[in-house]
């Protein structure tokens, strides 16, 4: 089944009926895989109700049936089944202690990677663009090495906003040349957001267990928000960026996108840590990693004693007239009932300047850094059709039909190519962002002795991005009229992931808002 880029999509409702009939009965095992958590999966592995091979086969079937509509998966790993078989063999052969396997939480669990995260296997890493099709990386990205070490099955590559949305302002979130337009699984014409849209869509629609995304500014938090999943944007440097197509060494971070906070934390535990290939950032952040990892902070009473600051302006503006605001008010009551002190109506100093990329300096800094860092990445490839940003621009001009150049163009790539390296203008911009962060978000957190800032939706992403701060987005509800999902975002100072996890997990357990999209039906028990 194929969906043409040039033809209207089939009726959304008719496809729901058609696809749900296929999905029912798709799982031959006696285990309900749709919406299953990592803990559910591992328990089913342990008691023999499920194998990694069955799990992979189920997700492959889901992808075959749903991806023609949702367009969130670019490639399937041809070795996925054999990797699952290997995981099953390891599970049968492993030593047990006190009734528990010595294998980790991710062992045998399929993971989908954003198509900017390199793998040294049969998969491509292309940023959704035909320009990098056939390129070969020297090795796995460090986060992929760590996932493999944890026993995860690399399932394939997820779609994204091409070049992280840095090709043209006209390109919508979730579109790329290789995959077409990614579709929000909850709302036919709903924005899937970007750029880790494919990772979020795929997890939301149970096309994979868990996924990895990347964020420079909003690219994990926004897709998580729009697709009713959990996204963790780690402190910059907590996870290595080595082997990941870069934008900015100041702002880039790699994090999990999953259906639950616990699943996201299990993935986070697997990928954090010092990496000599990303020495400066990971060395600075290594001190934040707690002994024993992050899963110890999955506490149902994690709200007790926390101080939470609510910032409404300007983040609630886009929800004017929406049912999301009244839902948000209910959630604030839940936070208080859980034992948190909620300080409402706080303001971030210079928020209008922070949110204006021209005034804050973020625009010129990212544009310049993108060219410098991308050229380094391309130079390090073993083989590539393009070796520089200039080559990418030339390829697009020579292949306008592949990349829909007449429709979208590439003015942002050209603007980046016109920059001349890191100079005084960039140093000034970075200094401006540093001061804005110190006098804005950091001042807010410290003066009010906050454990986290709480906002509705994803609008605070730039506040958190320019300072390299962490955040967790958790499903918070669905608009009554449009059915569009929205999330609640918990942001903190660098290294405060333990507190954010406690808060996010306790909120999730108290509300349990998330539900599967209508296109997915629960399989047989």
What's the rounded Cα separation, in Å, for the pair 518 and 20?
9
Which residues are identified as catalytic? Answer: 114, 195, 219
Yes or no: say if 318 and 345 are a contact pair by the CB < 8 Å rule: no
Q: CA neighbours within 13 Å on the CB side: how many for 334?
A: 22
Distance CA 136, CA 125 (A): 8
Question: Reduced to 3 states, what is the DSSP secondary structure of residue 404?
Answer: coil
Report helix, strand or coil for 63.
helix
Question: CA separation (Å) from 181 to 118, 194, 207, 321, 480?
Answer: 22, 11, 17, 29, 25
DSSP label at residue 466: T
Tokens of 22: 């296929």
CA–CA separation, 500 vs 137, rounded Å?
Answer: 35
- If we measure between CA atoms, which residue out of 76, 82, 90, 80 comes closest to residue 45? 90
Work out the angle between the directed axes of helices 362-379 and 389-398 (0-180°, nearest 10): 90
| Residue 350 phi, psi (nearest 5) | 60, 35
Residue 490 pairs with which residues in a beta bridge? 454, 472
Helix (H, G, I), strand (E, B) or coil at 478: strand
Question: Residue 272: beta bridge partners?
Answer: 239
513 within 8 A of 475, measured Cβ to Cβ = yes
């Amino acid at each position: 089944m194929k969906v043409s880029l040039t033809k209207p999509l089939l009726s959304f409702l008719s496809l729901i009926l058609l696809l749900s009939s296929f999905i029912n009965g798709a799982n031959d095992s006696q285990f309900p895989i749709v919406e299953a958590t990592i803990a559910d999966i591992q328990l089913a592995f342990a008691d023999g109700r499920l194998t990694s091979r069955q799990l992979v086969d189920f997700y492959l079937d889901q992808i075959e049936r749903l991806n023609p509509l949702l367009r969130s998966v670019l490639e399937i790993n041809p070795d996925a089944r054999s990797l699952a078989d290997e995981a099953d063999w390891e599970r049968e052969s492993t030593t047990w202690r006190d009734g528990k396997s010595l294998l980790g939480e991710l062992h045998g669990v399929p993971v989908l990677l954003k198509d900017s995260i390199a793998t040294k296997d049969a998969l491509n890493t292309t940023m959704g663009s035909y320009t990098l099709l056939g390129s070969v990386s020297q090795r796995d990205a460090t986060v992929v090495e760590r996932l493999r070490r944890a026993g995860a099955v690399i399932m394939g590559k997820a779609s994204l906003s091409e070049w992280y949305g840095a090709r043209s302002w006209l390109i919508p979130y979730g579109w790329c040349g290789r995959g077409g337009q990614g579709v929000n699984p909850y709302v036919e014409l709903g924005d899937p957001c970007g750029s880790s849209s494919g990772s979020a869509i795929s997890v939301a629609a149970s096309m994979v267990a868990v996924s990895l995304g990347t964020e420079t500014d909003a690219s994990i938090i926004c897709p998580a928000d729009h697709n009713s999943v959990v996204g963790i944007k780690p402190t910059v440097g907590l996870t290595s960026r080595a082997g990941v197509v870069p934008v900015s060494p100041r702002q880039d971070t790699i994090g999990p996108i999953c259906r639950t906070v616990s699943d996201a934390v299990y993935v986070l535990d697997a990928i954090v840590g010092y990496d000599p290939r990303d020495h400066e950032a990971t060395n600075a952040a290594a001190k934040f990693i707690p002994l024993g990892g992050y899963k110890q902070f999955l506490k149902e009473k994690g709200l007790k004693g926390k101080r939470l600051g609510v910032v409404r302006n300007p983040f609630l503006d886009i929800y004017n007239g929406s049912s999301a605001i009244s839902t948000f008010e209910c959630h604030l009551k839940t936070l208080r009932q859980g034992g948190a002190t909620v300080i409402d109506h706080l303001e971030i100093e210079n928020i209008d300047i922070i949110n204006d990329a021209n005034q804050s300096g973020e625009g010129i800094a990212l544009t310049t850094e993108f060219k410098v860092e991308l050229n380094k990445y391309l130079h390090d490839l073993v083989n590539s059709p393009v070796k520089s940003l200039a080559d990418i621009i030339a390829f697009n001009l020579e292949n306008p039909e592949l990349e829909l150049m007449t429709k979208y163009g590439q003015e942002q790539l050209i603007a980046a190519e016109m920059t001349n390296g890191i100079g005084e203008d960039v140093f000034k911009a970075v200094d401006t962002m540093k001061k804005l962060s110190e006098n804005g978000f950091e001042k807010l957190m410290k003066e009010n002795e906050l454990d986290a800032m709480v906002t509705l939706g994803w609008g605070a992403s730039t506040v958190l991005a320019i300072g390299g701060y962490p955040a967790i987005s958790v499903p918070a509800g669905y608009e009554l009229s449009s059915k569009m999902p929205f999330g609640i975002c918990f942001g903190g100072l660098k290294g405060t992931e333990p507190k954010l996890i406690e808060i996010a997990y306790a909120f999730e357990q108290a509300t349990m808002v998330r539900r599967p999209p209508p296109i997915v039906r629960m399989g047989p028990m």
